[in-house]
């Protein structure tokens, strides 16, 4: 394969308002069989909210075309098709059933932005169909299916990228590099947080399914439950059956950066506390939660989530602080960071002017996020290396999953540091996996 026009790629990245560190050229092993000037053709799954953002931004990514869109809500599907046709001048083909979509042979990769309970099953199905996959975080609803997603990528030799987009931010890459080089000495603790002002979801009622919604396909591999009027399109996040709570909805990002910066994989000990404190409604997951992890290399990290009180910490609604023997590194959640010495004196401030809105639930970092999407396409074309392959994405997703399990059983978890598996706790181990709808085959 001849080289992609790097000047076009760099020009696009510069237009996004941030610097970019191109990954070293790495062949995708012959996985992409198109000619150098051909486009990577994508299929989108789930295009309401975050999926609509991904569709719009992938559509304007160099050397990329959206050929198909799949959404179980016919209104959302029509809106997405209209929007993409207006944006690109070409109307993709629409589907409501992912199984029918995956029968198509003429596209290269599947983009998964459906609800959390669909992330790993769709990733596995995509790999089995011979497609590369971009899957939004979290990459799985539970630890076992995260392991299956990693296995599927390996077994079917597919590229699978998780949407931990901070892995593609140049200054975050630089901050982690400097931590590894010892800029604040040995780093032994990291603290992260996320805050928001989310309203009550009320008490839902069982009502008939709207005619435009294929609710059976929305539930898909999850065991069927009655439709409620306060569930779709967003509040499913706060129900254990389909969602994963704020810890995975947003905490995955901070925990990924902390794990990356500390250079750790799986914890030895996990503890979590919190509750649904702000309102008396149907919301099941905690709206206020802390999770603490210990690791075998004598380091630790903690994450705090507040879904219903948006008061900033360290002057920002989300971020990470790394504590070391010789100082502190503060990452306020976008593409900037600051370094302080032992006397809390500012030593260096690395800034980026790209717009950032910590309270934007769809994309607080739209222009920066585009770099992660470009990285996925570039890797398919053999011009880059995935910044967050599923093997790394699963490790970062497993952390908040363990936190939720510790919260639900109400005690400390002891874990195997080689794979994160829970030790000597049968009740907690039952939450490692889930049951599936018998009509869906979720196997690698």
Mean pLDDT of 35-63: 92
pLDDT in tens, 52-64: 999 999 999 999 9
Rounded distance between C-alpha atoms, residue 192 and residue 14, angstroms: 29
Superfamily grouping for domain 6-167+371-380:
NAD(P)-binding Rossmann-like Domain (3.40.50.720)
Strand-pair partners of 304 = 193, 290
Name the DSSP class of 224. P
- Residue position matching structure tokens 């079917």: 156
> CA–CA separation, 143 vs 38, rounded Å?
37
- 8 A C-beta contact, residue 113 and residue 47: yes
pTM for this predicted structure: 0.91
Nearest to 198 by CA among 315, 279, 117: 279
Tens-digit pLDDT profile for residues 88-135: 999 999 999 999 999 999 999 999 999 999 999 999 999 999 999 999
pLDDT of the residue at 73: 98
Q: Is the pLDDT of residue 9 over 50?
A: no
Of 362 and 218, the one with more pLDDT: 218
Taken as a whole, the chain contains a residue count of 444
| Least confident piece of the model among 26-30, 188-192, 305-309 | 26-30
The third-level CATH classification (topology) of the domain covering 169-204+214-357+390-432 is Dihydrodipicolinate Reductase; domain 2 (3.30.360)
Angle between helices 143-155 and 116-128 in degrees, nearest 10: 20
What is the per-residue pLDDT for 18? 34
Nearest to 67 by CA among 39, 27, 86, 32: 39
Torsion of the alpha carbons at 60, 73, 69 and 256, rounded to the nearest 10: 60
In degrees, to the nearest 5, what angle opens at C-alpha 163 toward C-alphas 197 and 428? 75
SS3 of 9-70: HHHHHHHCCCCCCCCCCCCCCCCCCCCCCCCEEEEEECCCCHHHHHHHHHHCCCCEEEEEEE
Q: How many CB atoms lie within 10 A of CB 34?
A: 14
Going from N- to C-terminal start, the domains of the chain cover 6-167+371-380, 169-204+214-357+390-432
């Amino acid at each position: 394969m001849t080289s992609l026009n790097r000047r076009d790629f760099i020009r696009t990245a510069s237009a996004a308002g941030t610097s970019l560190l191109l990954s070293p050229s790495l062949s995708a092993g012959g996985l992409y069989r198109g000619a150098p000037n051909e486009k990577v053709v994508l299929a989108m799954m789930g295009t309401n909210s975050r999926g609509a953002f991904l569709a719009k931004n992938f559509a304007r990514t160099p050397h990329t075309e959206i050929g198909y869109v799949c959404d179980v809500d016919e209104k959302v599907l029509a809106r997405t098709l209209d929007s993409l046709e207006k944006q690109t001048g070409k109307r993709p083909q629409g589907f409501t059933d992912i199984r029918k979509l995956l029968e198509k042979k003429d596209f290269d990769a599947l983009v998964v932005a459906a609800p959390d309970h669909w992330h790993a099953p769709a990733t596995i199905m995509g790999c089995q169909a011979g497609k590369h996959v971009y899957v939004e975080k979290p990459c799985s609803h539970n630890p076992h299916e995260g392991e299956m997603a990693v296995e599927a990528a390996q077994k079917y030799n597919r590229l699978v990228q998780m949407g931990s987009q901070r892995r593609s931010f140049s200054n975050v890459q630089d901050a982690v590099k400097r931590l590894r080089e010892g800029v604040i000495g040995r780093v032994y603790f990291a603290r992260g947080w996320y805050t928001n002002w989310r309203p009550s979801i009320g008490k839902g009622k069982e009502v008939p399914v709207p005619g435009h919604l294929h609710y059976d396909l929305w539930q898909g591999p999850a065991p069927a439950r009655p439709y409620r009027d306060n569930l779709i399109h967003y509040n499913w996040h706060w129900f254990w059956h389909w969602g994963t709570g704020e810890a995975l909805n947003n905490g995955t990002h901070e925990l990924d950066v902390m794990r990356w910066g500390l250079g750790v994989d799986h914890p030895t000990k996990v503890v979590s506390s919190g509750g649904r404190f702000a309102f008396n409604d149907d919301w099941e997951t905690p709206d206020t939660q802390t999770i603490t992890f210990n690791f075998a290399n004598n380091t630790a990290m903690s994450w705090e989530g507040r879904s219903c009180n948006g008061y900033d910490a360290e002057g920002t609604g989300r971020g990470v602080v790394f504590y070391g023997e010789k100082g502190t590194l503060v990452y306020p959640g976008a593409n900037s960071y600051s370094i302080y010495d032992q006397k809390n004196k500012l030593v260096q401030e690395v800034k980026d002017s790209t717009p950032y809105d910590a309270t934007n639930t769809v994309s607080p970092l739209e222009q920066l996020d585009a770099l992660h999407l470009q990285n996925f396409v570039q890797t398919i074309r053999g011009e880059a290396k995935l910044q967050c392959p599923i093997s790394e994405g699963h490790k970062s997703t497993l952390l908040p999953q363990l936190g939720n399990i510790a919260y639900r059983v109400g005690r400390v978890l002891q874990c195997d540091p080689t794979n994160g598996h829970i030790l000597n706790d049968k009740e907690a181990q039952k939450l490692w996996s889930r049951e599936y709808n018998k009509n869906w085959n979720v196997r690698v």
